[in-house]
Chain A
Amino acid sequence: MFQWNKKGLVRWCVMGSVLAALPMVAGAQWKAKDTEWASYGADLAGTRYRPLDQINAANFNDLEIAWRIKTDNFGNRPEYKLEGTPLMVNGVVYATAGSRRAAIALDAVTGELLWVHGEHEGARGGAAPRQLSGRGLAYWSDGKEERILYVTPGYQLICLDAKTGLRVATFGNKGAVDLKLNDDQEILPDLATGEIGIQSAPVVAKDTVIVGAAFREGMTPKSMRNNKGYVRGFDVRTGKRLWIFHTIPKQGEFGYDTWLNGSAEYTGNTGVWTQVTVDEELGLVYLPVESPTNDFYGGHRPGNNLFGESLVCVDLKTGQRKWHYQLVHHPLWDMDISSAPILADVTVDGKPVKAVAQPSKQGFLYVFDRVTGKPVWPFEEKQVEVGTVPGEWYSPTQPIPSKPPAYSRNGVSLDDLVDFTPEINARAKAIASKYHLGPVYTPPSESKIDGTLGTLTTGTASGGTNWPGGSYDPETHMVYAFACNACAEPIGLVRAPKEVSDMNYIAGTAGEEVKILRGPGENAGADSPMPAKKRAGSGYVALNVDGLPLLKPPYGTISAINLDKGEIVWQIAHGETPDVVRNYPALKGMNIPRTGQETYNTGTLVTKTLVIAGDGQITTTSEHPRGAMLRAYDKKSGKEVGAVYMPAPQSGSPMTYMVNGKQYIVVAVSGGAYSGEYIAYSLPSSE
């Protein structure tokens, strides 16, 4: 652990004066103000909404940079994947930052660094499945004490004094709870290297801290056996474990029988790696659960596999299940429930409904009565294709919501292929001919050189709405959600050599070397390098036509969905048309409407009048130098009303707050050559 030295304490004195100037809420029932952003999703309902309007359509273009902070030095190397959304309470911005995943506190007006806290976890941090700075942290106060909580890459829950950044000695073991312990399972193979961690922000509701779990990317696991991703609640004052929810039921628990052949005993993953939502008034917690072990092959876990890819409602005080709904039976498509459920009090057919709306990778917005778990609009169990991969167990049906309609593409047919010109379309068809195509829930297929290389999907691993989730306007009852509408994902399965995995099949392409795939945030050094082999005989084809996306635009969209009616009110392409499209020689002179961008990490912010989101890719146009734009849309119509330059793509979802009568918008940018940076925009002081 490192802390500020004497110089740091001097800075803290500056912070003290900031705090003294602000009114503190007294009493045990501390509540964030509308001008603050006290939880990752603005509030525990996951709305990403603040009713602020100083920054509006008339002045968005006047925004200038109020302050900025590079995160390079919050770790021993720069980070190019800064995904955090900061918090702002009482004039102080809190965030995670840098390759150390440091917690930092900044003056909300000037950006001055007030304190920094980092944990040096050695081999344990180095082996963590989810490294880098994570998505954020949690704030708690009883009106007197203020605490910051976050989870380190090595899976420790750290509790800090929000005023000093020092560990709270009375919480857990000197300010830390080892999350690899007291988890109703032995984390294997050992505490240092045992695979489990998390990158999302913890949530604090009343006095309970809720923490889930994440693992390595799950396309090519070494084994069908893995640690399990249980969810736990801890006392925010002491760090004591209050409850645990077994996302894979133990013997005797509800749902155990959905794992045939005893597969619940050894199957792992099935964590809650994204944001948790809480209704404090009802005392209910909403858990979005991911896929079980092996994203694309479930032959070792026959059955529906509860609570894989289920939305689960548990009691805030006990963790006991109240209701659940499995969105995908026997998951095979990496349709992790990837973002925060959104709480919405709506009016359907004249009746008030306390609803929870769940955006998804597959482009369905699943809407439930959040008290009973009953769908607000019925879901139909529709027949889906049953595949032919040896040993696989298939669910014959999947639930499809009757309303609202899918807000992003979730299947691939020939009609979905790029067709800017007949020649481009012909080349796209030639590529697609190497794959099995079909609508949503077309199953993965075996990759064969002399057959198809796999199933060509969209709305799966990186489609639709991913971890940034959606936003919700409680005044107009609208959900706003970005979705990748063209993230084509080939899912091929190959037999796994025993020296690579004990599973029968893992993701791969015929003719390619079969290997364990990793994602960013994993420790590549922990695994031995695979022997290099030539690519002879590979049937691989690139899923683009000279760099043009294989699927038709729009590549990325923002949709506005009315939750009173279950209807899409507007949908726009979000993001500048990519360079590769604008500069493609055969397209010169063609009038191609803005296409949006095929990114999966775009989050939205909603204010009194605007929906705000940044581009997810770099472009260079006649209107701006290489960079990306932070865009504002009229939330009623979707019309773009302003845009401000960012030096790199939005990589963390934007937030807003107001301090001393001034509104700020903060967004994390990074990617490519640009290392992580938080940038705060506000209006010029003179205006």
Chain B
Amino acid sequence: MLIADLYGEVLARATGRTARAQETASTSRSVWDGVYTEEQAKRGEELYRRECASCHGDTLVGGGGAAPLTGGAFLSNWNGLTVGDLFDRIRKTMPQGSLGKLTKQQDADILAYLLSFNKFPAGKTELQKQVEFLREIRFEATKPEAK
């Protein structure tokens, strides 16, 4: 336990990101609860291929320094945060070079495609486009065990 004594001090000084991650742990839905529809993911795929694939690749693996949007590093990067955090990152920075080109609805559709590609299950309701609502959906990398 090289670090145990340190956490209280350092974490108290860390950003609210960790605090928010802890808060969101109590939200009721996660990416395993069917939070997008297949139709939405199809729309998102078209958009992804047009707006995102030139950097992140057709297969979402990234490359040349563009972050992967699938695989272990991607999942651990967002594990413990919320779908809203990922949505917010997309809204703030993408598409690089033509920021603001996409609507919130289009970004939500792309996000649905990312979830679909990463094998999170589809459901009956679409992902919403309000970041506040999306922050209510936990991003959990590992499927929770059935209760």
Residues of A within 8 A of B (CB): 61-65, 77-78, 80-81, 126, 217, 219, 461-462, 509, 512-513, 515-527, 529-533, 535, 538, 540, 542-544, 547-549, 578-581, 583, 597-599, 617-620, 623-627, 629, 640, 642-645, 647, 671-674
Contacts and interface: CB of A to CB of B under 8 A. Distances in A.
Given A219-B64, A523-B96, A524-B97, 14 more contacts: A519-B63, A520-B67, A524-B55, A524-B95, A525-B101, A547-B72, A580-B76, A617-B77, A623-B3, A642-B2, A645-B6, A645-B10, A672-B77, A672-B78
A80 B53 CA distance: 19
Nearest to B18: A625
B132 to A, nearest CB: 16
Interface of B: 1-7, 9-11, 13-15, 17-18, 21-22, 46, 49-51, 53-55, 57-59, 61, 63-67, 70-73, 75-81, 85-86, 88-89, 92-93, 95-99, 101, 141-142
Contacts of A583: 141-142
Given A542-B61, A544-B72, A623-B1, A80 B95 contact: no
B58 A65 contact: no
29 contacts: A64-B10, A64-B13, A77-B92, A77-B93, A78-B93, A81-B65, A461-B64, A517-B55, A517-B63, A518-B54, A519-B55, A519-B65, A520-B66, A522-B96, A523-B97, A524-B95, A525-B97, A525-B98, A530-B54, A542-B70, A578-B73, A580-B75, A598-B73, A624-B7, A625-B21, A645-B6, A645-B10, A647-B15, A673-B17
A673 B141 contact: no
A642 B10 CA distance: 14
B64 A672 contact: no
A81 to B, nearest CB: 8
Nearest to A547: B72
A513 B58 contact: yes
B81 A64 contact: no
B125 to A, nearest CB: 24
Nearest to B4: A623
Contacts of B11: 625, 645
A540 B67 contact: no
Contact of B71 (A516, A544, A629, A647): A544
B30 to A, nearest CB: 15
| 7 nearest CB pairs, A to B | A580-B72, A519-B64, A525-B98, A525-B97, A524-B97, A672-B77, A579-B76
Nearest to A523: B97
Indicate the member of B58, B93, B95 with the most A CB atoms within 10 Å: B58
A217 to B, nearest CB: 4
A578 to B, nearest CB: 5
B53 to A, nearest CB: 7
B89 A126 contact: no
Contacts of A217: 63-65
Contacts of B86: 673
A629 B2 CA distance: 11
Contacts of A64: 6, 9-10, 13
A529 B88 CA distance: 23
B79 A61 contact: no
B2 A643 contact: yes
B72 A578 contact: yes
Contacts of B64: 217, 219, 461, 517-520
B142 A62 contact: no
B79 A626 contact: yes
A579 B76 CA distance: 6
A305 to B, nearest CB: 21
Contact of A80 (B51, B72, B79, B93): B93
B67 A524 contact: no
B78 A540 contact: no
Given A543-B61, A671-B67, A673-B17, A645 B76 contact: no
A671 B54 contact: no
A126 B6 CA distance: 43
Contacts of A549: 72
Contacts of B85: 673
Contact of B17 (A77, A671, A674): A674
A19 B102 CA distance: 48
Contact of B5 (A61, A529, A538, A544): A61
Contacts of A527: 54
A221 to B, nearest CB: 12
A532 B46 contact: yes
Contacts of A509: 58-59
A533 B57 contact: no
A641 to B, nearest CB: 8
Given A620-B76, A642-B2, A520 B65 contact: yes
A673 B77 CA distance: 8
A544 B62 CA distance: 14
B76 A80 contact: no
Contacts of B75: 547, 579-580
Contacts of B142: 579, 583
A581 B76 CA distance: 10
Nearest to A531: B50
A629 B4 CA distance: 12
Contacts of A625: 7, 11, 18, 21-22, 80
B88 A617 contact: no
Nearest to B10: A645
Given A517-B54, A583-B142, A647-B18, A617 B59 contact: no
A333 to B, nearest CB: 14
Indicate the member of B13, B76, B77, B95 with the most A CB atoms within 10 Å: B76
A529 to B, nearest CB: 5
Nearest to B63: A517
Contacts of B72: 544, 547-549, 578-581
Given A523-B97, A580-B141, A643-B2, A620 B58 contact: no
Contacts of A645: 3, 6-7, 10-11, 14
A535 B141 CA distance: 26
A597 B73 CA distance: 9
Contacts of A547: 71-72, 75
A524 B98 contact: yes
B92 to A, nearest CB: 6
Given A542-B61, A542-B70, A647-B18, A65 B13 contact: yes
A540 B58 contact: yes
A579 B75 CA distance: 8
A647 B14 contact: yes
Contacts of B59: 509, 540, 542
A532 B50 contact: yes
Contacts of A520: 55, 64-67, 96
B86 to A, nearest CB: 7
A4 B21 CA distance: 37
B17 A535 contact: no
A77 B89 contact: no
Contacts of A624: 3, 7
Contacts of A619: 76
Contacts of B93: 77-78, 80
A62 to B, nearest CB: 7
Contacts of B17: 647, 673-674
A544 B97 CA distance: 30
Contact of B50 (A63, A525, A529): A529
Contacts of B101: 525
Contacts of A126: 97
